[in-house]
Amino acid sequence: MKHKRKSYNYQRSHVAYVYLIPWMIGLVVFQLYPFLYSLVLSFTDKSMLTGGRFIGLQNYVAIFKDPNFKKSLVATLAYVAITVPLKLGFALFIAVLCNQKLKGIGFYRTIVYLPSVLGGSAGVAILWRALFSGRGLVNSFLTKIGLKSVPWLGSPNMASFTIALLAVWQFGSSMVLFLAALKQIPRSYYEAAKMDGAGAVTCFFKITLPGISPIIQFNLIMQTINAFQEFAAPYLITGGGPLKSTYLYSMLLYDNAFSFMKMGYASALSWIFFLIIAVVTLIIFGTSKFWVFNENE
């Protein structure tokens, strides 16, 4: 059986390039150039409209003396650590709930997706302030039920979490993918398991989770990358404060590139960031052989 599978792949190996042609063209024409351009810039003193002298590794050396680099890296790691598990856990949970045959499920499924359609529009910034300001809706609800109000956006310890809530609230894309993955598990697997007397919990852990594990991996990697690069939420709502607790790395990049006009330095910052994300991604990939089940590997 194994031998047969291999030969199937081998025979058609040259065909693979045909399928990859559009991507290769796109890569060379649209993606590689900006990519390499920024790499070159990172070794120059390019300002927004002037400069461009080669200065070797000076930008990279400067990064490690920049107090904001460390601050924003810490803020970003905290944000990733809060957002990713919360968002994915929530999305998977809701997807499983929404995958049931309940009355009016289509309606519920639409409701939970609504916030994700709103995206990062200007209305969202107003909304989040209305909800989480000192005397905002959430705090007035908390005080009504006898709890203490919380400085959601005012405290450096809380702001990161409050910003993360926006990402969690907009969990729709992960949920849609989980739903699609759930639907792709052949029903016959469950029927067979039922015959063997397996309960719902056993089914979930033995069939559902392994069945959607490639998509769990996908969502985990993509949401981690997305969270690392998050920009809109802190930009719209906190502006990076208080005390830089939500000054995410992409804000640092943005400020250096467009406010301080240091394009070369911003490019160097990006490439350091690139390495950091790459390492994290590789770690997730590396661990996945223990928990991701692929049909054909």
Q: Which of residues 180-209 bind other proteins (CB under 8 A)?
A: 180-181, 183-184, 186-188, 200
248: burial class by Cβ within 10 Å (0-12, 13-18, 19+)? buried
81 sits near other proteins (criterion: CB under 8 A): no
Closest contact distance (angstroms) between CB of 74 and other proteins is: 15
Closest contact distance (angstroms) between CB of 81 and other proteins is: 19
Residues 6 or more apart from 101 whose CB is under 8 A from it? Answer: none
In this structure, what token pair is assigned to residue 190?
A: 């469950």
Could you say which DSSP state residue 30 is in?
I
- Name the segment binding other proteins (CB under 8 A); options: 53-61, 77-85, 175-183: 175-183
Report, in angstroms and rounded to the nearest whole number, the Rg of the chain calculated over CA atoms: 23
Q: How far apart are CA 143 and CA 21, in angstroms?
A: 60
122 sits near other proteins (criterion: CB under 8 A): yes
Closest contact distance (angstroms) between CB of 219 and other proteins is: 9
By C-alpha distance, which of 220, 223, 214 is closest to 185?
A: 214
By CB under 8 A, how many residues form the interface with other proteins? 127
Which residues between 263 and 282 bind other proteins (CB under 8 A)? 263, 266-267, 270-271, 273-274, 277-278, 281
169 sits near other proteins (criterion: CB under 8 A): yes
- Residues in a beta bridge with 290: none
Closest contact distance (angstroms) between CB of 84 and other proteins is: 15
14 sits near other proteins (criterion: CB under 8 A): yes
Q: How far apart are CA 170 and CA 165, in angstroms?
A: 8
- Name the segment binding other proteins (CB under 8 A); options: 52-60, 81-89, 123-131: 123-131
